[in-house]
Each structure stands twice: as structure tokens, then as C-alpha cells.
């Protein structure tokens, strides 16, 4: 079970600045249980977006957004609407965002922060990982997580250690920041990389008292 929490609406609107329309995709797995994915959350967020003047070109749910095959099939079914939108807003965990971003050349914004892996770690069927940092930066990095893909978890760009696109710690390991750079360049969003100093807030890694009182945690209590 991956626990996620929706980002504040102001933060979501800030991500969408300069865009006119989005396609909303919600995850029907863990995020649905957390009420941060699934139809209910999608409809509620759709209303908030429209109230703020953002057109929702379409909306769908995927049973498990960490599954790229399911993502791809859903994208195909809604291709026209997705093509007409400026970007995708994904109501899922960090893995779901990265999984869908990896199968489509469209900018994907994360609607949630991922907080906790609960008791069932390691079940997602894709190579994407989430560090549950509680402060999702995938919106800045084109859907490729720098906390996971950079060996130093750098948030402000690559170090000087990239050689032939590989990381200084391992000649077989791709440089995460070069992947992010290539993706942002391809999607014409390099200005995200230029944005100023991102500082990690480690205090967000610990689930708040409010979150610890939700149903999932109750089951875990003795």
C-alpha cells in the first residue's frame, strides 16, 4: 500500500500556470484508497480546476498507474483528448507519475505527494521507484525522479561527474540528470531546469499526525 496525499490546490494551479487545458488521469489502486486517485478525487479536482478557469479536456482512471501496459492502453483510448490538452495531471503516487510519463511524450504533472510505503513494498511491476520524499518534484523534472535517478539525489541539476552520459559511480548507470535534461528539452520545458533553488524538506518524509489517523494506519495499529 502506497500512501499519498494531494498537493494543496494552489500548488497544483501554480504547476499549471500558462496552460489552458489538462487531461486528468487518476489511479484506481492505492491512490483510490487514499482518496487521492480514483473517480471521486478526479471529479472533485476537475471541479476545482474548472472553477479556476482551467479546461479539463477529459478524465479517466487506470486500475494501477504503476503498470505501463495499462497506462498505454488507456492513453490510446483517449488519444484525441490527450493530444488536445496542454498536459496530463496525474492523481497517483510518484511511481504512477513516472510510469505514465515514460510511455507518452506529454508533460505529466503530479497532483500528489507520496508519503509512505506501508506494509507492501516492492509490488509495483515497473522499474520506476519512489523515495516517498513527501514533496514530489516530478513536476519540475518532466516525470523522471531526481531523488531516485541521481546517485546524489541532486535537485538543482547534474554534478560534474557525468561521463559519456553515465554516472561517476558506475559506468553502466545512466546519469539521471541527463535523462531529465533530454526529456525537458524534448518537451520544450527547459525553463523548469532553470528555476531557482530547490531545497529538500526532510521533515515532510514523516507522515503527519493527521495522516496517521486515517483508515490505513488504523488497520496497522495493534
Partner 1 sequence: MRLTELFSKKFVVTSEIGPPKGWQIEKCLQEAEHLKGKVDAINVTDNQSSVMRFGSLATCHFLKDRGIEPVYQVVCRDRNRIALQSDILSAAAFGIENLLLLTGDHTKLGDHPQAKPVFDLDSVSLIYAVKKLEEGQDLAGNKLESEPPKFSIGAVVSPCSDPVEPQLIKMEKKVKAGAQFFQTQAVYETDKFVKFMEKAKQFGVPVMAGIVVLKSVGMARYMNENVAGVYVPDNLIEELKKDKEKTKSGQTGIEIAAKLIKELKPYCQGVHIMPLGWDDKVPKIIELAGLS
Task: Show contacts of 203-206: CB within 8 Å, 24+ apart.
Answer: 204/113, 204/115, 204/133, 204/134, 204/135, 205/115, 205/132, 205/133, 205/134, 206/134
Number of residues that bind partner 1 (CB under 8 A): 28
From residue 134, give the alpha-carbon distance in Å to each of 6, 25, 79, 139, 190: 10, 20, 31, 14, 24
Confirm or reject binding of residue 51 to partner 1 (CB under 8 A): no
Q: Whose Cβ is closer to partner 1: residue 153's or residue 214's? A: 153
Question: Cα–Cα–Cα angle for 93, 87, 47, nearest 5°?
Answer: 75
Site for partner 1 in 160-189 (CB under 8 A): 160-163, 168-169, 177-178, 181, 185
Q: Whose Cβ is closer to partner 1: residue 50's or residue 174's? A: 174
Q: What is the smallest separation between the CB atom of 16 and partner 1, expressed in angstroms?
A: 23
- Taking residues 112 to 151 in sequence order and writing x for each that binds partner 1 by CB under 8 A, - otherwise, the string is ---------------------------------------x
In the complex, which residues of this chain contact partner 1 (CB under 8 A)?
Answer: 151-163, 168-169, 177-178, 181, 185, 190, 193-194, 196-200, 202
Amino acid at each position: 500500500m502506497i500512501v499519498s496525499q494531494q498537493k494543496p490546490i494552489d500548488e497544483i494551479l501554480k504547476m499549471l500556470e500558462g496552460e489552458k487545458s489538462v487531461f486528468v488521469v487518476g489511479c484506481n489502486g492505492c491512490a483510490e484508497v487514499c482518496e487521492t486517485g480514483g473517480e471521486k478525487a478526479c471529479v472533485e479536482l476537475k471541479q476545482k480546476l474548472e472553477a479556476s478557469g482551467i479546461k479539463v479536456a477529459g478524465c479517466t482512471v487506470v486500475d494501477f498507474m504503476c503498470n505501463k501496459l495499462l497506462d498505454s492502453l488507456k492513453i490510446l483510448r483517449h488519444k484525441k483528448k490527450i493530444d488536445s490538452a496542454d498536459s496530463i495531471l496525474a492523481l497517483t503516487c510518484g511511481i504512477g507519475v513516472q510510469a505514465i510519463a515514460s510511455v507518452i511524450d506529454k508533460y505529466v504533472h503530479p497532483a500528489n505527494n507520496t508519503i509512505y510505503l506501508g506494509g507492501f513494498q516492492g509490488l509495483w511491476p515497473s522499474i520506476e521507484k519512489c523515495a516517498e520524499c513527501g514533496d514530489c518534484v516530478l513536476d519540475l523534472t518532466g516525470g523522471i525522479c531526481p531523488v531516485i535517478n541521481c546517485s546524489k539525489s541532486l535537485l538543482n541539476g547534474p554534478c560534474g561527474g557525468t561521463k559519456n552520459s553515465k554516472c561517476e559511480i558506475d559506468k553502466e548507470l545512466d546519469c539521471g540528470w541527463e535523462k531529465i535534461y533530454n526529456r525537458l528539452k524534448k518537451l520544450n520545458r527547459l525553463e523548469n531546469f532553470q528555476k531557482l533553488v530547490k531545497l529538500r524538506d526532510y521533515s515532510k518524509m514523516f507522515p503527519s499526525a493527521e495522516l496517521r489517523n486515517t483508515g490505513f494506519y488504523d488497520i496497522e495499529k495493534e
